Amino acid sequence: MGGSDDTPMATDAELDEFRRSLRRFIEREIMPFERKPMGEADRQDIQRKAREAGYWLMDVPEDFGGQGLGLTGMSVFWHEVSRTIAVPARDHSLFGPTPGPILLSLKGEQKACYLDPVLRGEKMTCFAQTEPDAGADPASMRTRATRHGQGYMINGVKRFITGAEKADFAQVIAVTDPAKGARGGISCFLVDMKAKGVRISARHQTMMGDAPCEIVFDNVEVAEENRVGAEGEGFATAQRWLTEGRIRHGSRACGVAERCLELTVDYAKQRKTFGDALAERQGVQWILADCFTELHATKLMVRDAARKIDAGADARAETFMVKVYGDEMGFRVADRCLQLHGGIGLTTELPIEKFWRDQRSFMITEGPSEVLRTALAKQILRGGMQ
């Protein structure tokens, strides 16, 4: 499998073969680290093996040295890597840098200065959209990029930025024309984290283990060449990232639910209470039946949305459904599986409690469920859904 020309049309057989071989790789090389720490040497060893096996730069076009998977192929990749807590929920860099759609759109000098070093592993980046007063509603952001000499001056604060501490540069979304707002008044800039006036002002430790940061931009001068695309295109550019991200959320939820259910089916068969296995109880059977039904529905939704986007269709509504239903399904299933494991489910001897914590967070980040339901409802009421 692979190749940007053929992947959007990838057959089920090709996708199944890709899934099987990737699953074997993850079970053999990565899952053992669920119960022991992964050191830097282990990390590099896994990265070397992933590169040799062809699991490297999966969504990066072949012209740039990647595998060129479309979203359908990537949905299988995200599903499989999410079956283990040994791959961090918000960092898939064991399989190479993950530049994201904004950097992949760069051309010429911008590509040479920012995308290429990221792909070579020489530079790291972060995506800075959220602000202290603008998270679920990013269009209300206040970070300003005002014209200054030949370029811009950026002032504002970004909050909850993943990877900010290690980043060499940030992809900053800022207001260039307040009157236009999200309709042509927001732009995207590549800002050096060492530039004068850039400073990390806080680190927020979360229950999942992630620690996103707050970044202050105080009179930061940015050259015009560091604007991505035309002025005013930034909001749409950022939304492209989030649309793809919604497929990642749905795929991830499938991987999490599937693994939790595998553990739970085994446990329910062998654990006896009051003289019978848990699996003999109708109350337990019905929970399993519901979980498998919801998981199956999510798999179909993810495949449908990914295929439509790969074929060039506008499937934003489908991606809203995938994120809301998928994230909530993943949490619900992890929660039920944790309950069925009793006390052992609460321990770190099993991966379920970590899946549960991570899944809880996904109903908030990259668009809370309520906001996506509202966006979907608007589309329905406009008559944009069949």
Annotated active-site residue 366? The verdict is yes
Rounded distance between C-alpha atoms, residue 252 and residue 246, angstroms? 10
- Residue 170 phi, psi (nearest 5): -115, 145
* Amino acid identity for residue 325 in this structure: Y
> How buried is residue 109: exposed, middle or buried, by Cβ count under 10 Å (0-12/13-18/19+)?
exposed
- Residue 272 phi, psi (nearest 5): -105, 135
DSSP code for 134? B
Rounded distance between C-alpha atoms, residue 125 and residue 190, angstroms? 9
> Interface with ligand FAD includes 91 (CB under 6 A)?
no
Distance of CA 367 to the CA centre of its chain: 12
Provide the minimum distance between the beta carbon of 167 and ligand FAD in the complex, in angstroms, as a whole number. 10
Q: Which of 114, 127, 235, 362 binds ligand FAD (CB under 6 A)?
A: 127
Residue number, 4 or 93, with CB nearest to ligand FAD: 93
> Interface with ligand FAD includes 112 (CB under 6 A)?
no
Rounded distance between C-alpha atoms, residue 362 and residue 369, angstroms? 9
Quick one: which segment of 66-74, 104-112, 123-131, 147-155 binds ligand FAD (CB under 6 A)? 123-131
Q: Which of 340, 365, 372, 376 binds ligand FAD (CB under 6 A)?
A: 365
Q: Which of 206, 273, 347, 348 binds ligand FAD (CB under 6 A)?
A: 206
Query: In the bound complex, which residue of the shown chain has the CB atom lying closest to ligand FAD?
Result: 135
DSSP string for 152-192? EEEEEEEEEETTTTT-SEEEEEEES-TTTTTTT-EEEEEEE
Provide the minimum distance between the beta carbon of 104 and ligand FAD in the complex, in angstroms, as a whole number. 17
Residue number, 29 or 210, with CB nearest to ligand FAD: 210
Residue number, 49 or 357, with CB nearest to ligand FAD: 357
Rounded distance between C-alpha atoms, residue 173 and residue 238, angstroms? 7
Provide the minimum distance between the beta carbon of 90 and ligand FAD in the complex, in angstroms, as a whole number. 6
Q: 256, 248 in Cβ contact below 8 A?
A: no
Provide the minimum distance between the beta carbon of 230 and ligand FAD in the complex, in angstroms, as a whole number. 21
Structure tokens at 75: 């949905």
> Interface with ligand FAD includes 75 (CB under 6 A)?
no
Residue number, 200 or 364, with CB nearest to ligand FAD: 364
Which of the residues 156 through 195 are near ligand FAD (CB under 6 A)?
160-162
Provide the minimum distance between the beta carbon of 287 and ligand FAD in the complex, in angstroms, as a whole number. 26
Provide the minimum distance between the beta carbon of 366 and ligand FAD in the complex, in angstroms, as a whole number. 5
Q: Which of 74, 85, 128, 170 binds ligand FAD (CB under 6 A)?
A: 128
DSSP code for 96? S
- 366-385 mask for ligand FAD (x: CB under 6 A)? xxx-xx--x-----------
Q: Is 127 helix (H, G, I), strand (E, B) or coil?
A: strand
> Interface with ligand FAD includes 145 (CB under 6 A)?
no
Question: What is each CA distance from 205 to 82, 166, 209, 249, 331, in whole angstroms?
Answer: 22, 16, 7, 22, 21
Rounded distance between C-alpha atoms, residue 373 and residue 367, angstroms? 10
- 208-227 mask for ligand FAD (x: CB under 6 A)? --x-x---------------
Question: What is each CA distance from 143 to 146, 194, 300, in whole angstroms?
Answer: 10, 18, 39
Active-site pick, 14, 34, 244, 366: 366
Site residues for ligand FAD per CB under 6 A: 126-130, 135-137, 160-162, 206, 210, 212, 361, 364-368, 370-371, 374
Q: Residues with catalytic annotation?
A: 366
